[in-house]
Amino acid sequence: MKIKFKVSILSLCLMASSLAYADPHWTYEGKTSPEHWGELDKKWETCHTGSNQSPINIDHTIKGKLDNLAIDFHVTNETIVNNGHTIQVTTSDGDDVTIDNVKYSLKQFHFHSPSENHINGQAFPVEIHFVHANDDNQLAVVAVMVKEGKANPVIDEILKDIPAQIDKEEKIEQPFNFSKLFPTDKHYYRYSGSLTTPPCTEGVTWFVMKEPVEMSKQQITQFQEALKHSNNRPLQALNGRLIVE
């Protein structure tokens, strides 16, 4: 089934990027927390009324004999920003992933701590969201869970480039190898969901990798300190959706 968004790729990326909104302001705590997002702006009502919202607990899956994700890794220059909601890396010539014989290009990726999606009731210390769009303006998010383990050299490169000032975008001078942010095993869970930040737009195809990658305890702590607060939306009701593996 093909779901089309009649909006520009730029608009989609801005929505999915967790960029700071000047008016209204939203947060993960207090009176502007996820429980109140749908009240803050009429355009955000889907955050409360939507029936295919993300994140979810991935459980009771059905077998679909899904092919491994075909990811074509490039080496590009990127920019990085701490926008107050997440640490985000924007790509200029993104890596491609092929889904249902259609090529999607990576627009940006960002970090949540703790994880937003759960797998069989388990949360992870960090979850990375790789936001892709195709030529028809369809969105796909590839989610990679992170567990504590060995230090990841790519994460070291990202951590050292995080700007100290909120909303100050900096260029990452040294291109890095994206493949180190993905597990070797490319099997995944697939479901239909939404953006996890306002306006919570639905029609987003989610691919949650089964195998996590590793970061050291120190790297995880550094991310949490840079974020200064948890940035995970609570789990949403499945509402009869199928999760395929």
Structure confidence by residue, pLDDT tens digits, 209-219: 999 999 999 99
Q: Is 10 helix (H, G, I), strand (E, B) or coil?
A: helix
Element (H, E) at 46: helix 46-49
On the question of pLDDT at 19 being above 70, the answer is no
Residue 69's pLDDT is 87
How many structural domains are present in the chain? 1
On the question of pLDDT at 48 being above 90, the answer is yes
Residue 228's pLDDT is 92
d(CA 143, CA 114) in angstroms, rounded, equals: 13
Nearest to 106 by CA among 123, 93, 122: 93
| Maximum distance among all Cα pairs of the chain, rounded to whole angstroms | 46
Domain holding 33: CATH number? Answer: 3.10.200.10
Domain that residue 97 falls in: 9-227
CA distances to 39, 88, 198, 220 from 76, in Å? 40, 15, 29, 25
Is 1 within the bounds of a domain? Answer: no
pLDDT interval class at 245 (50, 70, 90)? very high
Is 101 within the bounds of a domain? Answer: yes
Q: What is the DSSP letter of 74?
A: -
On the question of pLDDT at 167 being above 60, the answer is yes
On the question of pLDDT at 163 being above 90, the answer is yes
Residue 70's pLDDT is 85
What mean pLDDT is reported for the chain?
A: 88
On the question of pLDDT at 35 being above 80, the answer is yes
Token digits of residue 46: 């889907």
d(CA 121, CA 119) in angstroms, rounded, equals: 5
d(CA 71, CA 111) in angstroms, rounded, equals: 20
Is 74 within the bounds of a domain? Answer: yes
Active site residues: 85
Please give the share of the chain, as a percent, with pLDDT higher than 90.
73
Is 209 within the bounds of a domain? Answer: yes
Is 85 within the bounds of a domain? Answer: yes
Q: Which residue has the tokens 């093909």?
A: 2
Residue 77's pLDDT is 67
Is 194 within the bounds of a domain? Answer: yes
Render pLDDT for 65-103 as a digit per residue (tens, 0 to 9): 888 888 888 766 689 999 999 999 998 766 788 888 889
Q: What is the pTM of this model?
A: 0.89
Residue 220 corresponds to which amino acid?
Answer: I
Nearest to 141 by CA among 109, 170, 95: 109
What's the whole-number mean pLDDT along residues 139-156?
96
Q: Which residues are registered as beta bridge partners of 132?
A: 106, 140
What's the whole-number mean pLDDT along residues 129-133?
95
On the question of pLDDT at 5 being above 70, the answer is no
Is 214 within the bounds of a domain? Answer: yes
216: left (phi over 0), alpha (psi -120 to 50) or beta: beta
pLDDT interval class at 175 (50, 70, 90)? confident
Residue 16's pLDDT is 44
Is 242 within the bounds of a domain? Answer: no
d(CA 202, CA 210) in angstroms, rounded, equals: 23
